[in-house]
Chains A and B, each alone.
Chain A
């Protein structure tokens, strides 16, 4: 390749790139709007790329749907809402940077995120520093509403205690008290197992278990050990892809004929990715779409399906609730100021068309954790209706499963 052709190509590329860049910069912030027209901005940071992307995408879908709904009904405090979504790429540095960007540059009034608990926690340090209202939609690590709780942070999804306490009685009743744990070796796995152990020993159970690397793909060694122990239940604490593989191998080895299978969360996105034989077991759902007795839910599901061509999962619901929570807090506080929003949110009960389930769904004042129902049920292959993967047997009220605020270790420090 001759040097001149290379330099010509190079020059053209450079010029094109510069032109593109210049057009973006010049266009950008020199437009002045009247204050009344200024939309309210909500920032959302989620790992849209990386291993958690499926769950993150559902949360974003739910949030976008809610934003459209809110805007159709006149917005928040008379102003339209703009949802700004940023990708944290499952990396803390990026998540923190995007949070700063949303707050410093885009001047958002509220932040939602992240699915990755570590990132959610790091973000909460920034939002706390800058006194911005922050809702953690789907990051599960307990300290966020426990030992590291903060006055500006609220959470929609459950703690490990809630999930463990909800499903344990069902499993013990159905199968027995001798359990074998399969747990991923990191903070979430440890707290989840501890919560289960606490719930199980309360009912007089016994257990054994294995701690595995987070990305473990082969469960044969562990399953052999489990089989030899002859438990009543195999408690699968693995998440994401590893959960699916564990179940696949469990059913491949025919172990479902000898013991029950269960655990905390088995999300709709994961169920769909499972082969048919592995769609089994007893699990918690943080929200389930199939509630024929709750008219608001039936309507929501049909509208959502019409708009997005998919059935809402718990994650969609998290995003949905988060945006509506911002609206509810703003309407109650009549302001968008961080501390006022937080104060308004405490003990806030969600109206039925946001809660989408029976009973009282409240943001507990002491630790800012949402107390929804926990849907306990059995997963099975499809029986004809789309996405009908679970038969819910009980609804455990969140407040009952959650334990007291003291037990979470949360000592809320009010804003200065």
Chain B
């Protein structure tokens, strides 16, 4: 295997053969899900949920893993994406693409504007503000009964078939067709994210993560980059939110709650914060575990909480992170 390492910004080794193999494995597995997952006692809707949460976590990872900035309120943008899509489908127009666009814009713009306010803060204070901001939207969603359905959530909307001229994509049935639709959107988003991270912009973010002061001395406008990173990550997470609304035909205030934000962070950490595919893997592990454990016992919260703690104490680099480290050692 040939290994070529680029040194700019620090740690993005480009391992040509290995990378291609990984990609083939991942996409192969994802494409064949409807075949192998039921054999393991899973079901396709579970995979759909993994994809949606995985995308949200990957969006968060742009900020958390690659820029080194912690947001613990990303569910706000996820939920805004969900509500944006739902509200569009319910009140405006019966079109899935437009709903997705509206939701993504809503969440992304909210994040962009909020980012402006707090970009000068760092560390714990930044995180606290993101939590509080997220709760604001949660509160708004569950009190504004007439518009958002309040506590009961937004309902009475459904995913609409998408027409491509002669050919219509019938995703309204849920099931396998919808799963492939989700996969397609996920693939497009992941590709976009990959391009972004490999660009000079992406390299700069890593530089900021590694040593903010040095980056500043190099003349990099740090605040602007952090703000952009925040903003872009919110757009991706909001897109995931729109998919969630389509998955459930429902949007509810809990998609905005800080506990969901916590789940996204956990998924990112479990999978490996500083890796590209880590969050998806983390989402797969977390969603499957939660699904499985909550069917076994009412006390699943203890197990899930214990997993959080174990990961923090013993596996801070997450799965992919540990594997990568072993490979280097």
Residues of A that sit less than 8 Å from B by CB? 6, 9-10, 13, 24-25, 28-29, 48-49, 86-87, 89-94, 96-98, 100-101, 104-105, 117-118, 121-122, 125-126, 129, 141, 148, 185-188, 190, 213-214
B252 near A92 with CB under 8 A, answer yes
Residues of B that sit less than 8 Å from A by CB? 38-46, 49, 142-143, 145, 149-153, 155-156, 158, 173-174, 244, 247-250, 252, 254-255, 291-292, 294-295, 298, 300-301, 310, 314-315, 322
The distance from the CB of B282 to the nearest CB of chain A, in whole angstroms, is 15
Q: Once the chains are docked, how many angstroms separate the CA of A104 from the CA of B254?
A: 25
Q: A89-B294, A92-B153, A93-B254 are in contact. Are A101 and B43 (CB under 8 A)?
A: yes
A214 near B298 with CB under 8 A, answer no
Secondary structure of the A contact surface, majority rule:
helix
Q: Once the chains are docked, how many angstroms separate the CA of A129 from the CA of B159?
A: 13
Q: Once the chains are docked, how many angstroms separate the CA of A100 from the CA of B252?
A: 18
Secondary structure of the B contact surface, majority rule:
helix
Closest to A129 in B: B174
5 of the cross-chain contacts (CB-CB < 8 Å) are A92-B254, A94-B294, A101-B295, A185-B145, A186-B151
Q: Once the chains are docked, how many angstroms separate the CA of A121 from the CA of B151?
A: 13
B residues near A122, Cβ cutoff 8 Å:
153, 155, 248-250
A-B contact number at CB 8 A: 107
B314 near A28 with CB under 8 A, answer no
A residues near B46, Cβ cutoff 8 Å:
97, 101
Closest to B150 in A: A186
A residues near B49, Cβ cutoff 8 Å:
93, 97
B residues near A105, Cβ cutoff 8 Å:
38, 41-43
Closest to A99 in B: B45
Q: Once the chains are docked, how many angstroms separate the CA of A91 from the CA of B301?
A: 14
Q: Once the chains are docked, how many angstroms separate the CA of A121 from the CA of B157?
A: 12
The distance from the CB of A156 to the nearest CB of chain B, in whole angstroms, is 19
B residues near A93, Cβ cutoff 8 Å:
49, 244, 247-248, 250, 252, 254-255
B residues near A121, Cβ cutoff 8 Å:
152, 155
Closest to A88 in B: B294
Q: Once the chains are docked, how many angstroms separate the CA of A226 from the CA of B11?
A: 67
A residues near B150, Cβ cutoff 8 Å:
185-187
Q: Once the chains are docked, how many angstroms separate the CA of A24 from the CA of B315?
A: 23
A213 near B152 with CB under 8 A, answer no
Q: Once the chains are docked, how many angstroms separate the CA of A91 from the CA of B75?
A: 14
Closest to B151 in A: A186
The distance from the CB of A212 to the nearest CB of chain B, in whole angstroms, is 11
B41 near A25 with CB under 8 A, answer yes
